[in-house]
A = this chain, B = another copy of it.
Amino acid sequence: MRLSTRAQYAVRAMVDLSLYSEGRPVSLKEISRREEIPLNYLEQLFFRLKKGQIVTSVRGPGGGYVLARQESAIKVGEIVETVEEQLSPVACLDEGDRSCRRGARCLTHTVWQGLGERIKGFLDSITLADLTREARTRPAGGGDNEKGVCQPTG
């Protein structure tokens, strides 16, 4: 039941982008340095995030990425769903799956279905604004992890 590190990275990167962008584009190089995420890996993530219309890109020197919408209109659930292949706990919940008959026949299906709904519901109840608001009111104290995010390995 682990979240992929991709998803954790993506949320961290989005928080970083949101915190450091003041209207201007933020380059992946910056994010990579601050968050200690491999640049090439970030590129893959943002490729997906762009397709998911969560960010837009500006090419060329001085370019980078910008939020596609306001912080308050970007849900954590969206970010996770965009970079993860599937957010649902079991395969039969996915769109287009026909391998087992649902409905009244399957006892356990409703359990996993309910679980999936809770997960999505919870993650969709939190926006980027919720996360950055906290960071802004709390001026970065010292320490090696000053912006308040951490490695997914721990």
Asked whether B3 lies within 8 Å of A112 as measured between CB atoms, the reply is yes
State A147–B105 Cα separation when bound (angstroms): 8
Is there contact, CB below 8 Å, between B1 and A84? Answer: yes
| A interface, size bucket | 35 or more
Of B97, B105, B119, B153, which contacts A119 at CB under 8 A? Answer: B119
Any chain B CB within 8 A of the CB of A76? yes
Given contacts A100-B154, A109-B150, contact A3 B89 (CB under 8 A): yes
Smallest CB gap from A84: residue in B = B1
A99 touching B153, Cβ below 8 Å: yes
Closest chain B residue to A80 by CB distance? B1
Taking Cβ atoms with an 8 Å cutoff, the residues of A that contact B are 1-4, 7-8, 11-12, 15, 76, 80, 84, 86-92, 97-101, 104-109, 111-112, 114-115, 118-119, 122-123, 126, 131, 134-135, 138, 143, 145, 147-154
User: Considering the complex of A and B, which 5 residue pairs feature the smallest CB-CB distances, nearest first?
Assistant: A99-B154, A100-B154, A100-B150, A107-B148, A3-B89
